Structure 1
Amino acid sequence: MSLADTKTYARIADRKVAEWPVHARHIAARGLPQRLFQPVRPTGQPLFDPLRQTCAEVRPIVNDAGQPVQQWEVRALPIEAQRDMATAAMRDWIDAFLSRFTDGVPSAEIASWPTKAEAASAYLAGAATELQTEMLAGEAAPLGLTPEDVATVIAAKAAVYQRVIGLTTGMRRATEARIAASDDPWAVLDAAKQAALEKSTELGVA
């Protein structure tokens, strides 16, 4: 038995597992004869639902040939853990959904969107301040556009983004409450995602 041996061993006594898990370095350090220990025969991990269950290795059993055989135990995840996981997954899904509108845009520019939307609305209503007009003109000039062209685009994009934010905020608040009260939070999340996608299609933002 080499100290580099990475197998797991068990000590068998009266055809039962008396000690487990044991590794080669433990056996060598204790000066015990190798014949007291047998390598645990590995078995494939069973299928399980990682959203709702855990799978852990447990004490092996001894087969008819007297060899220890690896065993697994599948357990249900505590419902509170499932709720926490589903809530986190929902927020990640919302982030991914919103990223289609923000990917590739510098954070400082995203922070300016409310200011730009306000300026565009004011300009199109004929009520823009001098500073708002200058801001729109500054964006328009390098593009070969007029301030009105830029204001129209900004206003249209702002309307879309506002609808999206309204949709995702409503989804988040309602889904968090439903997950907290559900015994199957993943089913709640799946239903909420489907409803959000259907609603976003209705709004023309899917």
Structure 2
Amino acid sequence: MPRPLENPERKGDESLFSLALNARCEYALMRLRVVAGEIGSPAFKHHLAEANRLAARAGYLYAREPIPTLLRDAEELEDAWNDGVKKCEEERRAAGEQIRRPDIEKLIDEKDWYALGLPFPEQILWSLKRGDRVLIRWHFLTPNVNSVTYGNPYRDAALFGTLDDLSVEDLDVLLSDIARGRPWRRVRYRSRE
């Protein structure tokens, strides 16, 4: 009795070995076109496109497997495999974000920073007033003499506000954007004049 395929997306001829072997055969046929001096011919383009399609499909369906030896020594096939793996990972990440997005928004509305893995605004304020630099998921707040500077992993830096005027509400806005996975876009340049 044949066993059912683990991934319902896979068809009978889409085992990792068969995809890699077919990709390698198409690649060999393409290389024959190169030897024959037919670079750019319709046959050359067809074999190259099919080899890339098969290698990318293998990478997509078997993203958690190591790259097969049949694809490893040909740069074009290895790149196609990596493209397939990348596409699969992006789709998985997007699907996970779609599932988590409502949960994140609910936790932000409730200001449940602990559940989001973020420090409480009061803790941040206390650390800044002590003169400590605060790191929040690769974003940081640095206290200076009487001001606080915001920075992120993209090397964007801006004045966050004055240390005396900094409030829990200001930090709530920052924590909300960080929880959503985006850089803080509401940097305010303010002064009390």
Same fold (TM over 0.5): no
Using the size of structure 2 for normalisation, the TM-score is: 0.26
Higher helix share: 1
TM-score (norm: length of structure 1): 0.24
Structure with the bigger percentage of strand: 1
Larger gyration radius, structure 1 or structure 2: 1
